[in-house]
Structure 1
């Protein structure tokens, strides 16, 4: 006897999905350093030097004298002439007083007076002789002021661009269940 049977066929459900990946973009704008070198300041100063020119010795040797020097020299010369005259007169008086000595004292004095000659003037060998030149330099003052470096940085934050991903879910295949009865032929003699 053949019995009826139930035959089942099932198909599984299938889910399909499509994805779109997320996108992350990072941009880093370049920072600006803005560096500046400040120039150094250099100051050099020097006071004017002092130049001394003394030509008094040259003027003296060429016969040009200041009024003060001229009066001093005249004083010294006059004083010496006075002392010489006093000494000479004293010696003449002593020689005339000594009558005990043989000879003519007055004639000897006259002969001595004839032989006196004036003192010659002396001239320098060159007119610029005796010029004293001195120079006194002042010190050099150097001042340095450092400028240094200045930095003004400009920072820029990173730029983020984010596109989220997406998942699209769909039914690729629906589930199915097929039920069939097979062998419906039954033996009726039973």
Structure 2
């Protein structure tokens, strides 16, 4: 016996998706920067150095002195020579007053007054040692430096961002379908 049959054919639905990739670009421009370095301020001050040379004693040792100084020296030498002479004469007068004492004052005084004393020989340095006097005051140097800080100016640039969205297309590639066939086998 033959039975009737139902034949079902189905076709499922299919979706089709097409996608184009999105694009994203990020670009970071460099910062704009300027740097200036002002020069340092430098000031140098110096005081004069002083050198003093005193040659007075050296000139006097060489007998090359100012006339007023020479007159004073000659006057002092004359005074002391006069005082020496007066002292010598007073001593000799006292010796003559006491002629009765032992000794022969007349002969001794004649020998002393009749002969000039012998000059002493020796080396004398002209001018004498350390006759030239010096004094030195060095100069003073003052250095002042004022540094200046650098001037830095910077501008930050924002990042440049571009974005292109991805494209997505969804469509039906195949629709669903259901076919029903009924087959009667009795006929």
Q: Partner residue of 1:166?
A: 167
Q: Partner residue of 2:20?
A: 20
Of residues 56-65 and 28-37 in structure 1, the stretch that sits farther from structure 2 once superposed is 28-37
Q: 1:124 to 1:183 in 2, by over 3 A?
A: same
Q: 1:10 to 1:93 in 2, by over 3 A?
A: same
SS where residue 178 of structure 2 aligns?
strand
CA contact (8 A) 1:53 1:131 kept: yes
1:104-119 correspondence to structure 2 within 5 Å = 113-116=113-116
Could you say what the CA RMSD is over the residues aligned between the two structures, in angstroms?
A: 4.0
SS where residue 138 of structure 1 aligns?
coil
Matched, 1:157 2:144: no
Q: Tell me how far apart the structure 2 counterparts of residues 87 and 165 of structure 1 sit (CA, whole Å).
A: 139
Of residues 9-18 and 58-67 in structure 1, the stretch that sits farther from structure 2 once superposed is 9-18
Q: Partner residue of 2:49?
A: 49
CA contact (8 A) 2:7 2:181 kept: yes
1:31-69 Cα distance to aligned partner (Å, 9 max, x none) = 355455555555554322111111111101100112442
Structure 1 position 170, deviation (Å): 1.7
SS where residue 155 of structure 2 aligns?
coil
Q: Partner residue of 1:72?
A: 72
Q: 1:4 to 1:104 in 2, by over 3 A?
A: closer
Q: Partner residue of 1:132?
A: 133
Q: TM-score, normalised by structure 2?
A: 0.69
For structure 2, the residue ranges without an aligned partner over 5 or more in a row are: none
SS where residue 152 of structure 1 aligns?
strand
For structure 1, the residue ranges without an aligned partner over 5 or more in a row are: none
CA contact (8 A) 1:26 1:159 kept: yes
Q: Tell me how far apart the structure 2 counterparts of residues 32 and 175 of structure 1 sit (CA, whole Å).
A: 63
Count of residues in correspondence between the two structures: 184
Q: 1:7 to 1:78 in 2, by over 3 A?
A: same
SS where residue 135 of structure 2 aligns?
strand
SS where residue 52 of structure 2 aligns?
strand
Q: TM-score, normalised by structure 1?
A: 0.68
Q: Tell me how far apart the structure 1 counterparts of residues 181 and 99 of structure 2 sit (CA, whole Å).
A: 203
